[in-house]
Amino acid sequence: MILDSGIELLRAILGRIDLRKLLLDPRVSILIDPPPETLQEFLLTHYIPSISGDIKTVPLRSRVDLSNEFFQSCISTFQKGMETLSHDFTVQTQFGKKWFVNSLANLPVAEQTTHLLTPKRKVLITAAGPSLESFIEQIRKERKESLFIATDTSLPVLLEYELNPDAVISIDCQHVSYHHFLKGLPKNIPLVLDLASPPLLARLTEKVIFFASLHPFCRYISTYWRQFPSIDTSGGNVTHAAVSLALTLGADQIYLYGADFSFPRGKSYARGSYLYPYFLTRSHRYLPLESSFSHFLFNNQKLEKRKGDWGIRYIPPRMEHYRLYLEALIEKSSALIVPVRGEGESIRVPPPSPRYERDISMRIFSAGPKSSSWKEFLRSYLENIQQLSIPFDPVVSYLESLSLDQRNLWTTLLPISAVIRKEHGKEEVPSSSLLIESRTWAMEKIERYLRDW
């Protein structure tokens, strides 16, 4: 990607130097005076970390000095785009294969589910921060005319106080999320799950409601087999997803309890959450409960220590990012979102817009009709990826030579490519080989699953 300012300069260069060989190379793109949103969109759509590898900038210093303000703006936009890509790629390298396998395993249950959530104007959401304990009685009073959604981490805390939510949401694809349900899931409480959630969770209740997050294979399933409602999980944590669920239902008042995004006074979670029974089973005279929590808090975490009216708070970087993502979601929303303040970090909320200006529609949260049985869909998907032509380098040129449907098929495999790239370590692997390995791995999983079911 070549960035420059001033079309007149480019025209003058082309009038003196024959650059046809460069301009006709399909790998080369030239952007002249691009606005920030165009530059960021170009970067996000053309640079695919899982198959493209590293990215570098090479400034022509004499040219940059002549238009320093323009190029500094480009660098700032470039850095923001890279932060987004870097975070997304890191997550893919950890969970790319797990998303795919979990989605496969959830298809039989996803075919049968017919449950739904009805819209509600007022929604209460509980997270598992330490301040949740002090709001239990307030929640008990407020819930009568509200839809009460619990995050999976807060569920065991609520059960300790015999307070049953109207629905529970879980988005983690790791099996550790099962620990939140060791106290059980009360009967008739719907469980809202990502299609990529561990299949073990879908067996906890008959009232499962699946949604499709932005994982490529989940989106493909929702587009070509059965349409599932969508929830924004880009915030990386379940509280963000719960707010997105409430907004999808058309809520115009959302109240958050226990969303501390910090460890106030060194306390990790509300009493009764999954860590308490786990640490309790390991505790003894030389390792009391407090030692386990202290080790959990300070071991391998870069904590920022802040002081305020509520005392000392410790904030790990990931919680700071979670809070910022939630604030961005709140800022875009037309609903009145109220983070009920406890001892944790303050969540910035813009001034509420007048009620008559809010454009909020209420929608039922449920899956649409399926186009075929899950086995027929999976066989069709398997046949389609088998028929994809052999990739070649440069991969970007290969992908651009394909139809939209064919590119969509490869997109479902890109998170797997990210994992495979990580597994190769420092070994240099051609991008085309990564795609071939990803397809082979996915085909083996699908064939085995169809054979064993």
DSSP 143-175: GGGSEEEEETTTHHHHHHTT---SEEEE---SG
| Higher pLDDT among residues 358 and 248, named by residue | 248
- Residue 31 — φ and ψ, nearest 5°? -115, 120
Helices and strands (H, E) in the chain, number of each type: 19, 12
For 194-246, what is each residue's pLDDT tens digit? 999 999 999 999 899 999 988 999 999 999 999 999 999 989 899 999 999 99
Residue 205 and residue 296 in contact, taking contact as beta carbons nearer than 8 Å: no
Can you give the pLDDT at residue 362?
65
The amino acid at 90: T
- Please say if the pLDDT value at position 356 is more than 50: no
Q: How many CA atoms lie within 13 A of 299 on its CB side?
A: 6
The Cα–Cα gap between 274 and 320 comes to 22
Residues 6+ apart with CB under 8 A from 328: none
For 17-31, what is each residue's pLDDT tens digit? 999 888 888 788 899
User: What integer best gives the mean pLDDT of the chain?
Assistant: 90
pLDDT band at 361 (very low <50, low <70, confident <90, very high): low
Nearest Cα to 192, choosing from 182, 183, 177, 329? 177
- Please say if the pLDDT value at position 397 is more than 90: no
Which helix (H) or strand (E) segment holds residue 30: the answer is strand 30-32
- Please say if the pLDDT value at position 40 is more than 90: no
191: three-class secondary structure by DSSP: strand
Residue 305 and residue 218 in contact, taking contact as beta carbons nearer than 8 Å: no
Q: Is 187 exposed, middle or buried (0-12, 13-18, 19+ CB in 10 A)?
A: exposed
The mean per-residue pLDDT over the stretch 125-135 comes to 95
Can you give the pLDDT at residue 3?
92
The Cα–Cα gap between 376 and 339 comes to 45
The amino acid at 326: L
Can you give the pLDDT at residue 124?
97
pLDDT band at 381 (very low <50, low <70, confident <90, very high): very high
> pLDDT exceeding 90 applies to what percent of the chain?
61
User: DSSP assignment, residue 197?
Assistant: S
Can you give the pLDDT at residue 404?
92
pLDDT band at 6 (very low <50, low <70, confident <90, very high): confident
Strands lying side by side in the sheet with 311-315:
263-264, 311-315, 304-308
Q: What is the CA radius of gyration of the chain?
A: 25
The mean per-residue pLDDT over the stretch 160-187 comes to 92
Domain ranges across the chain: 2-83, 114-171+231-357, 371-452
Question: In b/e form, how buried is each residue of 299-328, taking b as 16+ CB within 10 angstroms?
Answer: eeeebeeeeeebeebbbbeebebbbebbbe
Whole-structure pTM value = 0.86
Nearest Cα to 166, choosing from 251, 272, 276, 252? 251
- Please say if the pLDDT value at position 360 is more than 60: no
The Cα–Cα gap between 341 and 232 comes to 24
- Residue 337 — φ and ψ, nearest 5°? -110, 120
- Please say if the pLDDT value at position 379 is more than 80: yes
The Cα–Cα gap between 125 and 154 comes to 10
- Tell me the two tokens of residue 265: 């006074």
The mean per-residue pLDDT over the stretch 130-159 comes to 94
